[in-house]
Amino acid sequence: MEYSPVVRDFLLCSGTTIPMYLTLIILGLAALIDTSNQSGCYGDINRVDSTGASCQTAKAEGLKYCGVPASQKIAEKDLTRMNKYKDIIKSAGRKQCVDPAVIAGIISRESHAGAALDANGWDTSFSQSRCYRNINGVDTTGASCQTARSEGLIYCGVPASQKIAERDLTRMNKYKGIIKSAGRKLCVDPAVIAGIISRESHAGAALTHDGWDERRNGFGLMQIDRRSYPQLTRPWNSEAHLIQGTQILVKMITTIQRKFPRWTKEQQLKGGISAYNAGPRNVQTYADMDIGTTHNDYANDVVARAQFYKKNGY
């Protein structure tokens, strides 16, 4: 393949093998610069005004504050990984007369310095528009007091959901590999799958030896109802079962997307989680979507549990 001088210079920098994702990002930037009518360099990044990250971006990163402090915190989290590429970033910036800090800022936003990419450098972020958004960006009130009491807790809300999820964590980790695989195949955040599993079966602790609930209507880790889905995929704790359950979840999310097209993706995700329990017809408004679900808190509880699992490697 014949490369332009810009591409050739970049590929020769540092004499090392350059990861595909970094090549694509910086070559894309170089292509943009090649078409610029500007001469010389492009100004000092420290003189550019900025309002920083929006609250939506900050929430997606698990932060409770927005603006410049949020952007700086996210960049700080990426710093150790970014430093691995510091030399080639500076080399590319020097050759194209672009401040390396600008390149690093783009890399942090686009890929978290590679953390949001798979082994081949492709995007695996569940916050992209082709998927169903990042669970950390979904608001939640957590478990109702009824759910909390049934778990032996004297407090309610998000802390209760997190405590219940924490109790299930050791068992959940037995299935971490297949949960992440099912999520990747269906473009659903594995933390959401884990949140549903915790709510539905306590990662298997609430099931019989062959994977049924006490009434033998719900089956498997994700408690698929045999009355609605008689063709159950076995075994009850297999990836095939998780794929079937996650496909049902995706169907619920897409139904809510059609029903409420003006809702944000995060709101539609939460609505889909609620519908997984009580069906899409039960979802009438965003504020009251959980009315009619088990203990009237299903989506809020699952979201809070999922956010716990997100912080614990899912």
Q: Write out the chain's pLDDT in tens, 314 residues.
A: 444 444 444 444 444 444 554 444 444 544 444 433 333 488 889 999 999 999 878 877 878 899 999 999 999 999 999 999 999 999 999 999 999 999 999 999 988 998 877 666 765 544 433 488 889 999 999 999 999 999 999 999 999 999 999 999 999 999 999 999 999 999 999 999 999 999 999 999 999 999 999 999 999 999 999 999 999 999 999 999 999 999 999 999 999 999 999 999 999 999 999 999 999 999 999 999 999 999 999 999 999 999 999 999 99
Class of domain 52-123: mainly alpha
Q: What is the pLDDT of residue 115?
A: 84
By the 8 A CB rule, do 144 and 296 touch? Answer: yes
Distance from C-alpha of 238 to C-alpha of 233, rounded to nearest angstrom = 9
d(CA 35, CA 23): 18
All CATH 1.10.530.10 domain ranges of the chain, comma separated, are 52-123, 135-312
* Nearest-10 Cα torsion for 115, 119, 120, 126: -50
Q: Which amino acid is at 48?
A: V
The pLDDT, as a whole number, for residue 37 is: 37
pLDDT at 246: 98
Tell me the C-alpha distance between 46 and 308, whole Å: 36
Q: Are 237 and 175 in contact (CB under 8 A)?
A: yes
Q: For position 270, what pLDDT does the model report?
A: 98
* Pair of tokens at residue 183: 């999520």
Q: In CATH, which of 3.40.50.720, 3.40.50.970, 1.10.490.10, 1.10.530.10 is domain 135-312?
A: 1.10.530.10
Structure token digits, residue 118:
């798979």
The whole-model pTM stands at 0.63
- Residue 76 annotated as catalytic: no
Tokens of 92: 């590319």
| pLDDT reported for residue 184 | 94
Q: What does the alpha-carbon distance between residue 311 and residue 218 come to, in Å, rounded to a whole number?
A: 28
Q: How far apart are the first and last CA of the chain?
A: 40
Catalytic residue among 151, 200, 214, 239: 200
